Amino acid sequence: MRKLLFFALVLAVVRPPLAFAQDAVVSRNVNLRNDPSTQNPAIRLLLPGAELVLLSQTRTNNYYNVRTMAGEPGWVYAPRVRLLPALTGPTQIFNSCGLEGNASRDDIRERNTLKNRFTAPQTSDINTAITLQAILQPGEDDTRFQDSDGAVVTGFVFDVKAGSTESVNCGATTVQFKDTHIEVTLSATDTDPTRRFIVEVTPKWRAFMATSGVNWSNVGLRNMIEGQCAEFTGWMFWDRHHRGDAENTDRGAGNNWRATAWEIHPVTAVRVVPCPN
C-alpha cells in the first residue's frame, strides 16, 4: 500500500502540466541523454520496461524529450521506445451527470459546460500574461481575462477543501462527486482572505487522473500540495455568482473571502514546485 501511495505521489509531482498526457515505455536498451545527439556522454542506460513521460510529442533529431519516473529529464532515441495510448481527458458524462449539470436556467447551463470542460488547454491556448500577480491586481476585472484562456499559475496553497453542492455536479452531496476548492496565495505569510485566488478540481478530472494512479481526492490533494507551492494548469473561468464575494468587484465589503471572481476551473494539471526565496 505504501509503495502504491508513493508511486502515485511521485507521478503527480513529476508529471509536467502538459496539454496532453502521454507515456512511453522503453522497448530496447536506450541511453538517457542530456541532448538529442550522441556527441556527449549518456546520463545512464534505461532498460526495457522503464516507463517515461513525454515532455513533447515532437521528435528532435529522432529523439524524444522525456522525464523518467524518478524525475530525471533527458532525451531518448525514439525508435527504442514505444508510445502508450494518449490520455486525452475525462468523459463528458460522469456519475450520470452531463456537461450542463441539472440547472434549469439556460445561462447557468451554459456556464456549467465551461466548468465541466473535459480537454486540457493546448500550448497555443495558454495566456502567458496570466500570473498570480496579474490576477491579484486590484480593480474591476470582469474583462481582464477570457473564459477561453488557458493558464499556468503558481502560488502557495493555503487551503484544500470540499466544494459545495452545485448544479454543475447535478446536486451531488457525496464528496467524491463534488468539486475540490483550493485557495492559492502569493506566499505562506499572505493570509488576507481578500488576496486569495480560487482553483477548482472537478469530479470528472479527479476520476480521470485516478486512471493514471494519481490521487486527486480531497485528502490526496491536501496531502500533496497544502502548505506548499504548486503550479496549476487549466482553464480560466469568470464565476459571476461570486462577484459580490470578491475584493476586486465589491471593494471593501466586510464579507469578501476572495480576491476575484476569476478562477481556474477546471484544473487539468497540478505539480509541486519550490517556493520562491
Do 68 and 147 have their domain in common?
Answer: no
Q: Which of residues 83, 114, 133 is at a domain's end? A: 83
> Is the whole model's pTM more than 0.85, yes or no?
no
Residues 79 and 113 in one domain: no
List, for residues 227-236, the tens digit of each pLDDT value. Answer: 999 999 999 9
Domain boundary among 83, 98, 131: 83
Q: Rounded CA gap, 112 and 101, in Å?
A: 6
Q: Give, in order, the Cα–Cα distances in Å from 233 to each of 3, 20, 39, 121, 130.
A: 27, 12, 35, 8, 11
Query: Are 132 and 169 contained in the same domain?
Result: yes
Asked whether residue 79 falls in the same domain as residue 121, the answer is: no
- Write the DSSP symbol of residue 235: E
Confidence of residue 86 (pLDDT cuts 50, 70, 90): low
Confidence of residue 211 (pLDDT cuts 50, 70, 90): confident
Among candidate residues 64, 40, 41, 67, the one with its CA nearest the CA of residue 53: 67
Number of neighbours of residue 148 by Cβ within 10 angstroms: 11
Regarding whether 258 and 133 lie in a shared domain, the answer is yes
Query: pLDDT confidence of 2, banded at 50, 70, 90?
Result: very low
Backbone angles phi, psi at 115, to 5 degrees: -60, -30
pLDDT greater than 70 at residue 150? yes
- Considering only residues 12 and 218, tell me which one the structure prediction assigns the higher pLDDT: 218
Angle, helices 218-225/2-14, rounded to nearest 10 degrees = 70
Question: Which one is predicted more confidently, 159 or 119?
Answer: 159
> What amino acid occupies position 146?
Q
- The string of pLDDT tens digits covering residues 31-78 is 999 999 999 999 999 988 777 888 888 899 999 999 887 778 999 999
Shared domain check, 135 and 184: yes
Sheet holding 51-54, edge to edge: 73-77, 63-68, 51-54, 23-26, 81-83
Close Cβ partners of 126 (under 8 Å, ≥ 6 residues apart):
19, 149, 150, 151, 152, 233
Same domain, 126 and 243: yes
Closest CA to 52 of 22, 77, 31: 22
DSSP output for 27-65: -S-EEEBSSSSSSS--SEEE-TT-EEEES-SS-BTTEEE
Amino acid letter, residue 276: P
Q: Which three cell numbers stand for residue 119?
A: 480537454
Query: Which residue's C-alpha cell is 556522454?
Result: 41
Domain span at residue 26 reads 22-83
Q: How many helices (H) and strands (E) does the chain have?
A: 5, 12
Cα–Cα distance, 31 to 29 (Å, whole number)? 7
- The answer to whether residues 62 and 186 belong to one domain is no
Model pLDDT, residue 17: 41
Say if residue 25's pLDDT is above 90: no
Q: How confident is the model at residue 163 (pLDDT cuts 50, 70, 90)?
A: very high
Lowest mean pLDDT across 116-125, 136-145, 219-228: 116-125
Verify that 79 and 112 share a domain, yes or no: no
In this structure, is residue 101 part of a structural domain? no
Q: What is the mean pLDDT of the chain?
A: 89
CA distances for 148 relative to 121, 160, 242, angstroms:
9, 25, 19
Lowest mean pLDDT across 4-8, 24-28, 60-64, 214-218: 4-8
R_g of the chain, CA atoms, integer Å: 20
CATH of the domain at 253: 2.40.50.140
Is 99 contained in some domain? no
Cell numbers describing residue 63: 529523439
